[in-house]
Amino acid sequence: MRICDVTLREAAQMPGREYTVEQTIAAGRALDGLSLPLVQAGFPATGEHDAAVTRRLAATLDSDVVAIARARADDVDAALDAEADVVEVFVPVSDRQLDAVLGGSRDEAFETARRAIDRVREGGARAHLTLMDAFRTDADDVAPAFEWFDAPITLADTVGARTPSFVAGYLRTLAGLGVPLDRVGVHFHDDLGVATANALVTARLGVDRVDMSVASLGERAGNPALEEVVVALEADRHETGLARDQLIPACRGVLDALDEPVDPRAPVIGKAVTSHESGLHTAAMLEDPATFEPYDPETFGGERHLLFGAHTGREAAERLFERADRKPSEELIDALLERLADAEEPVELEQAVAMADEM
């Protein structure tokens, strides 16, 4: 399975965002240490910002840089001029979008896509195809595309309308119609709060490509969260091929570059999700951190925070004395617990051990 990071393009579509070229370049470079197969840089036909970002990232990233283009000659030429490694042509396929976006038939959409893909190849880039609103289109109308085009094809849940059970059933239907799932890419949106779950389902079914964005950045509710999907897959022993120990630093680097905040409670990248103060938890985790962790944050470049304060219990206090190589009495334990409770804020393990040593 190949991961395509779409943060740079999708984040720019959020209302009120106006990232500079340098911000976007910095975010793209933050991703480079992950060994991502594909990074979608932008939509060059929209203007010089995306063209400059695509051109500069294509010249510097180890990942293949993707530019998107409508099935129009001027769009394709703009992507080629920006020197993208991959030009991803997109066309609508659902009845709703064919009528509202294209004003034509599905056959006409496929014909324009064919011409655009030929133009991409003539220009020296690799061609990919995305079918917009594919998951609201009958599988019988989508399956023929895999015979007509020899390019990788991504199926987009453009408005985030589908759930994991539907997505899995839809892909199995396509497989039953002769579509090899290892030729299928998927692009989900999180309008129903299930984009990450959809991505996990499709990865397990063996699709070729899954689009993801850091911290779900993207229009409306965003896209599958790169960090969540990767950690969930790796925790489930599904190799992603990414540099695991760089995941959290890279994601935080992207958010720093774009000046986007990190919610402390955000899965994987939020500090609060690997911070523990409960007396029962910290006591057990001093012996075996996995007791109350689904994964080791250090595996992904993060850190664990064991906190000691008003919620610290007697057993945890005993463990702190043991760490300080002290044999505690009941009076010493009481004194340490009182001192921790009186602290202005919970302290981390090293400081708590020092306090026990000073008692």
User: Which ranges of 32-122 does DSSP label H, i.e. alpha helix?
Assistant: 48-60, 73-81, 95-97, 106-122
* pLDDT digit string (tens) for the chain, length 359 residues: 999 999 999 999 999 999 999 999 999 999 999 999 999 999 999 999 999 999 999 999 999 999 999 999 999 999 999 999 999 999 999 998 888 777 788 999 999 999 999 999 999 999 999 999 999 999 999 999 999 999 999 999 999 999 999 999 999 999 999 999 999 999 999 999 999 999 999 999 999 999 999 999 999 999 999 999 999 999 999 989 999 999 999 999 999 999 999 999 999 999 988 887 766 767 787 778 888 889 999 999 999 888 887 787 777 777 878 788 888 878 777 787 788 787 778 877 788 778 877 77
AA letter at 121: R
325 HSE (CA, 13 A, CB side): 0
Q: Which two tokens stand for residue 286?
A: 């001093």
Angstrom distances, CA of residue 156 to CA of 153, 195, 210? 10, 11, 10
Angstrom distances, CA of residue 142 to CA of 69, 114, 205, 304, 338? 20, 15, 18, 46, 67
Q: Which CATH class is domain 2-257?
A: alpha beta
- The residue behind tokens 């991505």 is 199
- Contact (Cβ atoms closer than 8 angstroms) between residue 257 and residue 288: no
E strands, 194-346, in order? 209-212, 275-276, 305-308
Query: CA-to-CA distance for 346 and 314, rounded, in angstroms?
Result: 16
What pTM was estimated for this model as a whole? 0.89
Which of 249, 246, 303, 247 is CA-nearest to residue 274? Answer: 303
What ranges do the domains of the chain cover?
A: 2-257, 271-358
Query: CA-to-CA distance for 24 and 21, rounded, in angstroms?
Result: 5
